[in-house]
Structure 1
Amino acid sequence: MPTTFAWLVRGMLWMAGTGLLVLLIVSGVTVPWDNALYDLNARYWRYTPDDHVVIVAIDARSLDEIGRFPWPRSVHAQLIDRLSAYGVRGVGMDVTMSTPSNNPDDDKQVAAAIQRNGKVVLPVFAESVSLGGQLQEALPVSSIGQNVAALGQVDVAKDNDEQVRGAYLKAGLGSPYWPSLALALLQLGNHASSSTLPGLHDPAHNDASPYLWMRDNYVLLRYAGRAGAFGRLSYVDVLNNRVPVNLLKDRWVLVGATAVGLGDILQTPDSPMPGVEYQANVLESLERGMLVTPLDFLRQLGLGAAMLTLPLLLYGLPGIGRNWLLLLISTALVLAVSVSMLRGYYLWWPPVSCLAVIAVEFVAWQLLMRHRRPTRE
C-alpha cells in the first residue's frame, strides 16, 4: 500500500501538473502537435458527400468559352434564371457584387433574376478602404442586395500555419450577426436554427469595438476529402443548358471560382482547395450535423486535470510500478479519450498538453521515489 509520503508526492505532483497544464493550454505551445493529431484523425475520418450539394464551377473551360473574368453581371443573371428553371433548392453565390457595374443595366438584370429565384444568398466580407485603415463591411450594391433572400459572411478561418481546419458560423463588424454563407443558405429552408448552433464561443464578443471584425461559433471541419470530393458542374454547361435536370433539381447550389488563376484557393491540411468547395464542406457538415466543436479552456483544463490523476493512482501497483508500461498505458488512455470524444460526440479535446504533463510527472516520480524501497510505497 502507498505510504503517507507516497500520497504526499502524488498530491504535490498533481497540483504542479495542473499548474503546468494551465500554462501549456494558455500559451498554445502544443497547438502545432494538436493540429497534427487532428489532421491525422481527419485523414482517416472522411465521408462520402450526399448529392444534396452541387458546385457550379467558374473553371478554366468556362473562362475559355465566356471570356476573361469578371464577367458582365448579365451573365450571372442568365445563370440564376437557368438554375431557377432547373428547380434548385437554393443558390449560394460566392461571387462579389459590392461595386456597381459599368453598365447599370447589368445590375438591374441580375437583381431581377435574384428576385425571380427568391432563394439566392450573396456574400459579405470585411475589407479596409486603405492599407491599415478602418474595416468596413463589403455588401452587395443596394440595387442587388435588396433582392437577395439572405446575406452570408465568407470569412475564412486560417490557423497560424495558414492551414484552414475550421469555420466561423457567425461573424460581423462589431458583433457576429452575419451567418456564414452556408448557414444562411440552410436557414432559407429552416434547416438550421441560430439558437442551436454548434461551435466554440468567443467570451469577449459582447465587449468588442464596433470597428473590429468579430467571429463566433468556431467549428472544426471534417472534410469529405481532398479537393474534388464534391460534384462539380461547369458554369458554362449549366448556362447553356447542357446539364441533365436531375443533377440540379432540388439541390443546394454553390457558385464560385475553381480556376487556379482566379486566386480563390485555400490551403487545407490535405490539399489546396477552392473557396467554393470549402463552403460546400461547411454546408454538407452543417446539414448532416458533422461539425466538430473544440472544448473551451475550462473544459480542456477540467478533463486534463482529471486525466492527470490516472498515472498517479497507478504508480506502485504490481506489474505497472515505476516503469515505462505505466507511461504507455496513460498515454494510450488519453489518446483514446480524445479520439472517442471526436468520433462519438464531435467534440475535440486537444490532448498534447495533458500528454506532456504526464511525461513530466513520470520523470518527476522517478526522481522523487528512486531512493525509497518499493515495499514502502
Structure 2
Amino acid sequence: MVRERVGDWRLAWRFALAGLIAGMLVTAFGYFGVINRSFDAAQDQLFPAPSADPRITLVAIDQRSNDSLGAYPWLNSYHAKVINYLASLHPKVILFDVVLDHLTFNDPENPTENTDAELTSAIKSAGNVVLVCTADDAPRPEFAAVAAAVGERGFSIPDAADSIRGVELRPKNTCPENEAQEPAFMQALRISQGISSALSINPAGTEATFGSHHIPLVGNQMLINFTKGGSPTCPYVDALNASCPHPEVITNHIVVIGTKLIDAGDVYSQAVSFPHDKSLCPAARQKCMLDNQNYGYRIMGDAISTVLSTCCRSGTECCSPPSSCSPTSPSSSCSDRTAI
C-alpha cells in the first residue's frame, strides 16, 4: 500500500514537471513568434481571396519579354515605346512600378538615339504617368520632373507569419520627390478618380478619408484585401510592339507596369495564398515561388482594388464598378468584393 502511494506521488511530480516544461516552451515560442507565425498563417486560410478587380490591368515585364528582348533591365527607349503605346489607348492612369533611377544614354545599335530623352518625352506627353520611389531609391530628376506624380512603392513590415498585410497611407520614410508623402497607388487613384482633396486620418487612427472613400485602418495601416489573381494582363514585349492582345482592357483602365521576373527580386510573401499559373515562374523553374508569394506590382494592384472597394458615406453602396459609389447601402466598408 505504501509502495502504491509513493509511486503515485512520483508519477504526479513527473506530470507536474512535464506541464511546467510544456508551459515554458509555449511561452518561449510565443515570445519568439513561432506560435504566432503558425496561428496567423492558419487564420489566413479561413478567408478566401476575392476575384481580381477588372478595372485594373497589368503590364508584366515577364519571362517571355525577357527571352525576347534580352536580359532585363533594358534601355529607357523601350520604356518610352511602351508608355507611348499605352497612352495612345487612353488609360486613366499608368503606374510605372519600377524605379527609373538610371540613364541608359544612346542605343548601341543606333548611336543617334537618345534613349533618356525619349523616355522623358513619353512620360511628359502621356501626362498621367505615376513613378515610384523608396527612401533609398528615387527616379532620375529628368523623369520625376515630368511625371504626373511620384509616390512610395514600399509595403508594411512583414508580420509574425512573415507576410505583408498592409501599407501605411502616410509613409514615414520616402523620397523627397514624393511631395504628397503618399503611396504611389494612392497617387494613381487621385489621377484616375480626379481626387484633389487631402488624405485625412481621424484622431483615433482607425479610418482614412480619401475623396469619397472611407478606408478602415488597423495599426495606422490599410490592410490589403488580396485577390486570387487573374487580372487582365499584357506582356511588356507585346506593349513594346504595340500589340496587346486585348487593347480594350487598357482604355479607361488603371494600368500598373511591373516586374514579373523571379530574379528581379520584387517578390513578397502575402497574407493569402492564390492559384499560381505557369507565367509566374520560368519554364525550367516552375516551383520558384510558394503559393503565398507574389510580385510587388500585383500587390500594388490589390492595394488599388482595396481602396476602390471601400464605401462612401452612409447611404451609399460599395463594390460597384465602374463608379465608386451609388446610394443604396448604409455600409461603411467592404470586406468581400465579389460584386466587382
Instruction: Report the TM-score, using the length of structure 1 for normalisation.
Output: 0.57
Give the aligned residue type for 2:44: D
CA contact (8 A) 2:105 2:116 kept: no
Please report how far the alpha carbon of residue 172 of structure 1 lies from its aligned counterpart in structure 2 after TM superposition: 4.2
Structure 1 counterpart of 2:194, one-letter code? N
Give, in whole Å, the separation in 2 of the partners of 1:284 and 1:346.
Answer: 11
Aligned to 2:315: none
Is 1:111 matched up with 2:115? no
1:101 matched residue in structure 2: 104
Counterpart amino acid of residue 264 in structure 1: D
Q: Per-residue deviation at 1:34?
A: 6.5
Indicate if the aligned counterparts of 2:52 and 2:230 stay in contact, CA closer than 8 A. Answer: yes
User: Any conservation in 1 of the 2:104–2:116 contact (CA below 8 Å)?
Assistant: yes
Contact 2:91 2:254 in 1 (8 A): yes
Tell me which residue corresponds to 1:232: 233
Query: Are residues 1:126 and 2:135 paired?
Result: yes
Measure how far apart 1:152 and its partner are.
0.9
2:159 is matched with: 159
Code of the residue aligned with 1:120 in structure 2: it is V
Choose which of 92, 97, 120 in structure 1 pairs with 2:95.
92
Establish whether residue 63 from structure 1 lines up as the match of residue 84 from structure 2.
no
1:67 offset after TM fit, Å? 1.4
| One-letter amino acid matched to 1:266 | Y
Summarize deviations over 1:190-247 as a string: whole Å, max 9, x none.
Answer: 2485434689849xxxxxxxxxxxxx9411122112xx33222111112212223212
| 1:218 and 2:239 are equivalent in the alignment | no
1:72 pairs, out of 75, 84, 90, with 75
1:190 paired residue number: 194
1:84 partner amino acid: A
Greater share of helix residues, 1 or 2? 1
1:288 is displaced (CA, Å) by: 1.8
Tell me the number of residue pairs that the alignment of Structure 1 and Structure 2 aligns. Answer: 242
Q: Does 1:253 align with 2:258?
A: no
- For the residues of structure 1 that align with 2:205 and 2:75, how far apart are their CA atoms? 40
Q: How does 1:278-317 map to 2 (within 5 A)?
A: 278-289=299-310
Look up the match of 1:351.
Answer: none
- Any residues of structure 2 matched to 1:268-279 within 5 Å, and which? 268-269=270-271, 270=273, 271-279=292-300
Q: Tell me the secondary structure at the aligned position of residue 171 of structure 1.
A: coil
In the superposition, relative to structure 1, how do residues 47 and 89 fare at CA in structure 2: closer, same or farther (>3 Å)?
A: same
* Structure 2 CA distance for aligned equivalents of residues 197 and 62 of structure 1: 41
Q: Secondary structure at the match of 1:233?
A: strand
Q: CA deviation at 1:287?
A: 1.6
Is 1:242 the counterpart of 2:250 in the alignment?
no
What is the RMSD computed on CA atoms of the aligned residues? Answer: 3.1
Contact between 1:186 and 1:192, CA under 8 Å: does it hold in 2? no
- Is 1:51 the counterpart of 2:39? The answer is no
* Structure 1: gaps of 5 or more residues: 1-26, 128-137, 203-215, 291-342, 348-377
Deviations 1:321-371 (A, max 9, x none): xxxxxxxxxxxxxxxxxxxxxx98569xxxxxxxxxxxxxxxxxxxxxxxx
3-state SS of paired residue (1:144): helix
Question: Which 5+ residue runs of structure 2 have no aligned equivalent?
Answer: 1-30, 107-112, 207-218, 274-291, 312-330, 336-340
Distance 1:101 1:115 in 2: 18
Q: AA paired with 1:237?
A: D
Task: Determine the C-alpha separation between the residues in 1 that align with 2:334 and 2:141.
Answer: 40
Higher Cα radius of gyration: 1
2:45 aligned residue: 40
What secondary structure is seen at the aligned counterpart in 1 of 2:123?
A: helix
Q: Kindly provide the amino acid, as one letter, of the partner of residue 247 in structure 1.
A: V
Deviations 1:260-298 (A, max 9, x none): 1222111113211011100000011112218xxxxxxxx
SS in 1 for 2:68: helix
| Selected match of 2:265 from 260, 263, 266 | 263
How far does residue 38 in structure 1 lie from its aligned partner after superposition?
Answer: 4.8
Deviations 1:126-172 (A, max 9, x none): 22xxxxxxxxxx22111111000001101121224421111122214
Going from structure 1 to structure 2, the CA distance change for 1:66 and 1:33 (only over 3 Å counts) comes to: closer
Q: Deviations over 1:297-324 (max 9, x none)?
A: xxxxxxxxxxxxxxxxxxxxxxxxxxxx
| Alignment-derived partner of residue 171 in structure 2 | 171
Fraction of identical pairs, as percent:
21
Specify the SS of the correspondent of 1:178.
coil
Query: 1: distance between equivalents of 2:238 and 2:166?
Result: 32
Say whether residues 1:148 and 2:147 are aligned partners: yes
